[in-house]
Chain A
Amino acid sequence: MRQHSLRILAYGLVLVSVLFPFIADAAESGYLVPTASRILIYALAAVSLNLLVGYVGLVSLGHAAYLGVGAYVVGILAFHADAGSTVLGIPGTVQGLLSIPAAVLLSALVALVIGALCLRTSGIFFIMITLAFGQMIFFMMVSLERYGGDDGLFMYAGPNRLGALDLSNEWTFFYVCLTLLAAFLLLCRWLIRSRFGRALGAIRQNEARMTTLGANVYRYKLAIFVIAGAGAGLAGALLANQASYVSPDMLHWTRSGELLFMVILGGSGTLVGPVLGGASFLLLEEYLPVGFGAAGLETLKEHWRIVFGPILILVMLFFRRGIYGLLTGEDRS
């Protein structure tokens, strides 16, 4: 696609995103707003993962863990607010201005600890050990009987209040998600363009050389790992508010696999790619069955995954550059 048309497309998409609730309302499809919010949340998670995969070449198969930690912080705080009790001496809260930063902070902390251990390895081993730690956190959440264990935890008071904003209002929530996604994208852009970002790119291209240039590669990787974890934690906190429910399922390793997919589907190595990837993935999940149903293919409507699986395979084999690559003709893989 030519630069000019690409620019128009980009502006168009931004405009549609910003005006989406109005457009949906006008099209009598107001029920689509929560779906759109979900897309924004997963886009945020995918962007955070892409910091690792696309910009440094670290394939983490345990990223859903940080999503889960963020979600559970919100859920647990809401639980205690409801019950009027405390957790580790801290009272519960349904105030988003407290619970969301807490979620981000704790996810960052968990990422710091896990990253410190995982980043001592590389290649296949890194993939495996991130998977293992993801599983560890998963089992930890499952074993928390008090917070629902396997069944998950309902937030009976509903979503948080964000200062004066009522997050149970679908439109308010949508714009909060949109703002946070935009803010995170700007943060990532700044990081990538900074000296830190340039160093990360150098590490991806030739790690050994960076070491012999005197750089402490481990520290760079750890720093970006923590930032990525924090981003996922933010997405998790939003996810908890979106569903008013948290469950260990959010941390299952297959979730981590799906996040990786979103990154590649959209095009890794670019900021916008994962946003496209997250959107496409979720839209496929939602509308593939619907499409089959509309076409009268009832079996496929129920078993849409039998087509979904091969789609994922084909994309990985033949469209490796992702949607962004297809649109721009660039190979950023």
Chain B
Amino acid sequence: MLLLVEQLLNGLQLGVFLFLVSAGLTLIFGIMGVINLAHGSLYMIGAYTGATVTQASGSYLLGFLAAACAAGLSGVVMELLLMRRLYARDHLDQVLVTFGLIVFVNEAVTMIWGRTPLFMDIPQALSGSVEILPGVPYPVYRLAIILAGIVAAVGLWLLIARTRIGMLIRAGSTNREMVSGLGVNISRLYTLLFAAGAVLAGVAGAFAGPQVSVQVGMGESILILAFVVVVIGGIGSVRGAFVGALLVGLVDTLGRAFLHDLLGLFLPPAEAAGMGAALSSMGIYVVMALVLIVRPRGLFSVRPAS
């Protein structure tokens, strides 16, 4: 029971974390119609910058800010130099150009930071555990991430539902041509949007720093998860990204924690462990496949039926 609560929270944390990465991705897909494989690279840039600046300055706050800025700036440069040329192109071109971008950024990071992974400690203020329920200690850091993620989600919701920019975003995700026809400076909106998505990804990267080893390739692993979230949630829908992220976070975490035990009820221990490991890593893809079969456009698709 206690384990269940702990794992539920872990799932929640992973979900909220994935939301930070996926929100930007889904908006970029939905509004600009671009598949950006290099979104994971922005996450990686955030992680590397966060880790380096924190270590150099001793301040976590500075590290986080630096991560946000570095990722945001990279995003702007990416958008101005490359993404602009891709809006009119088909998906295959976008996939391959951003693929080349991943190769470039990975190598650049290797050149700057070398091949050894960086390690980052959990900030002192956020270390240790807290008893959220009697007998259930839970790491403060994870709670902090959950909080930050929820704040970001609420903030994004307010932005999209209550502001003019939000209105443009919502309109843009269902009908791109219309928005440019309204005389809005589309180029600037796009750059802004792209930068915002980049900042979110970069911040997520900085958060991830203390939890995973910061190394080249971390971008790709998170990218795939983010894709799954976006597809499950529905392209262009931030609400979908939130629900999808939570779903993915919970399925993945609970699967890894409990699947082999569950299988152990039917199968001998060695088989259960092996199968459990296989199925839990496959788990989220199975969910994605199921969602696509039942609702081919995702759970909260904003695209009108054709």
Contact = CB atoms under 8 A, between A and B. Distances in A.
| A–B: direct contact at CB < 8 Å | yes
Contact of B235 (A124, A143, A264, A309): A124
Interface stretch (B7-15, B94-102, B136-144): B94-102
Interface stretch (A2-10, A28-36, A89-97, A130-138): A130-138
A135 B111 contact: no
Contact of A316 (B97, B102, B235, B274): B97
B292 interface: yes
A4 B99 CA distance: 37
A323 B171 CA distance: 41
B285 A132 contact: yes
Given A257-B99, A264-B96, A303 B91 contact: no
Given A129-B288, A135-B285, A306-B111, A253 B104 contact: no
A187 interface: no
The number of chain A residues touching the other chain, given as a range, is 35 or more
B296 A306 contact: no
Nearest to A123: B91
B95 to A, nearest CB: 7
A261 B224 contact: no
Interface stretch (B151-159, B206-214, B275-283): B275-283
Contacts of B173: none
Q: Is the interface of A mostly helix, strand, loop or mixed?
A: helix
Contacts of A140: 278, 282
A143 B292 contact: no
A215 interface: no
B285 A260 contact: no
A222 interface: no
Contact of A53 (B85, B92, B274, B282): B92
A105 to B, nearest CB: 23
B99 A131 contact: no
Given A129-B231, A143-B281, A309 B292 contact: no
A311 B85 CA distance: 16
Contacts of B101: 309, 313
A61 B95 contact: yes
A120 B292 CA distance: 8
B277 A143 contact: yes
Contacts of B93: 316-317, 320
Contact of A139 (B35, B108, B282, B288): B282
B100 A313 contact: yes
Contacts of A303: 107, 110-111
Contacts of B165: none
Interface of B: 29, 35, 37, 82, 85, 91-93, 95-97, 99-108, 110-111, 220, 224, 227-228, 230-231, 235, 274, 277-278, 281-282, 285-286, 288-289, 292-293, 296-297
- The 3 A-B pairs with the shortest beta carbon distances in the complex, nearest first, are A309-B104, A312-B100, A143-B278
Given A139-B282, A316-B93, 10 more contacts: A59-B91, A61-B95, A121-B296, A132-B289, A144-B278, A261-B96, A305-B104, A309-B101, A313-B82, A313-B100
Interface of A: 53, 59, 61, 117, 120-121, 123-125, 127-129, 131-133, 135-136, 139-140, 142-145, 253-254, 257, 260-261, 264, 299, 303, 305-306, 308-313, 316-317, 320
17 contacts: A117-B289, A117-B292, A120-B292, A128-B288, A129-B231, A131-B224, A132-B224, A132-B231, A133-B285, A143-B281, A144-B274, A260-B99, A264-B92, A306-B104, A306-B111, A310-B104, A313-B104
